[in-house]
Amino acid sequence: MKRMLWIATTGAILMSTLAASSAAARPGSTKKSSFGKAPDGQDVDLYTLTNKNGVEAAISTNGGVVVSLKVPDRDGKLGDVVLGFDSVDGYVSDKSYFGAIIGRYGNRIGHGQFSLDGKTYTLAKNNGENTLHGGNKGFNKAVWMAKEIPAKDGQALELTYLSKDGEEGFPGNLHVRVVYTLTDSNALRIDYSATTDKDTVVNLTNHSYFNLAGPGSGDILGDVLTIEADKFTPVDAGLIPTGELSDIAGTPFDFRKPTAIGARIDANDEQIKLGGGYDHNFVLRRKMGAPISMAARVVDPKTGRVLEVWTTEPGVQFYTGNFLDGSAHGKGGISYTKRSAFCLETQHFPDSPNKPKFPSTELKPGERYHTTTIYKFSTEK
């Protein structure tokens, strides 16, 4: 009799658990809608990827921008964690690269030139004397071809773009493919790949500005950051790396232990002053033989949201939105003020084409560029 009761009770618990989990676990979906028109009249689409937990990533074909990313807080409430705009027009006039795919070369190339195979290439200079994020019309301003593709885990969107030989001064026709996958474990995975028909340089990244408490919720100085780096690449006044790898020990760049972003952001430190805060490339401590390693972890004490950044890249640019000055009015008219978001741009080091000791960014015909970065979300109590 006791045994019968046990079976009946266990059965009932099992049934109700199954019912609860199937109610929460809806199948994922991808929806396409119009986001407006690019300045040349091309249609721009917005793809909204939703996973089985209701987590949502909206991606625009203009710049391959992550327009919104809705993830749960510690109470399970979904909220947007990236800055951006409500329509394509905001992205057309944007100069801060909100959410965009960055290429052909992420971050700066000094004096807008480099030599390859004995030939000097002159690039568009769009940041004083230097080239920033690909030049005047980087990949962030291109309209990408989009296709929904099957994913083993979650929802996937493939974006492709042909950067023509000579675009912004870079050699070679570069076929670029970026796949965004929103997994069912609440991660946004980005796979970048590229091939060329001439020797060239490539450094692709994504320029999402995160505020884990939501755009418009104040600054990010209270967020607690860990970066898996023992060294960083110090810069000159133009934010071009000097070529050295400096130890972070005893400096405001030491994030080996979880530390509030704002704890040392105004320190009396030459590098902090040059960046106007953090705007530096960290040299990631890679685990030997690991295909992908954790680069950084950010905890937002207000909402309990946690972001982990994993990458195959050797560096990450930690940028604290020092140039945001409130002039950009984003989603719902919110003005994006200084340090109201942070970026963790996984990358090869800035100015590598002019720094022979940095890991190489060269790509040759027959080779395939391939890097992966994962932005993984969870919560803490």
Question: Between 161 and 318, whose beta carbon lies closer to ligand GLA?
Answer: 318
Question: Between 47 and 98, whose beta carbon lies closer to ligand GLA?
Answer: 98
Q: Which of residues 314-353 bind ligand GLA (CB under 6 A)?
A: 317, 319, 323, 343, 345
CB of 282 to ligand GLA, least distance (A): 12
- Catalogue the long-range contacts made by 38-42 (C-beta closer than 8 Å, 24 or more residues apart): 38/62, 38/88, 38/92, 38/143, 39/92, 40/143, 42/143
CB of 236 to ligand GLA, least distance (A): 13
Q: Which of residues 3-32 bind ligand GLA (CB under 6 A)?
A: none
CB of 322 to ligand GLA, least distance (A): 8
Contacts of 187 (CB under 8 A, 6+ apart): 374, 375, 376, 377
CA distance 108 to 85: 25
CB of 94 to ligand GLA, least distance (A): 10
Distance, C-alpha 120 to centroid of its chain: 30
Question: Which of residues 55, 57, 176, 239 is near ligand GLA by CB under 6 A?
Answer: 239
Q: Which of residues 117-136 bind ligand GLA (CB under 6 A)?
A: 132
CB of 87 to ligand GLA, least distance (A): 21
Contact string 289-318 vs ligand GLA (x = CB under 6 A)? ----------------------------x-
Is 96 among the residues that bind ligand GLA (CB under 6 A)?
yes
Q: Which of residues 254-283 bind ligand GLA (CB under 6 A)?
A: 279
**Annotated active-site positions, please?**
207, 345
Question: Between 30 and 131, whose beta carbon lies closer to ligand GLA?
Answer: 131
Q: How many residues touch ligand GLA (CB under 6 A)? A: 11
Query: Which residues of the chain form contacts with ligand GLA (CB under 6 A)?
Result: 96-97, 107, 132, 239, 279, 317, 319, 323, 343, 345
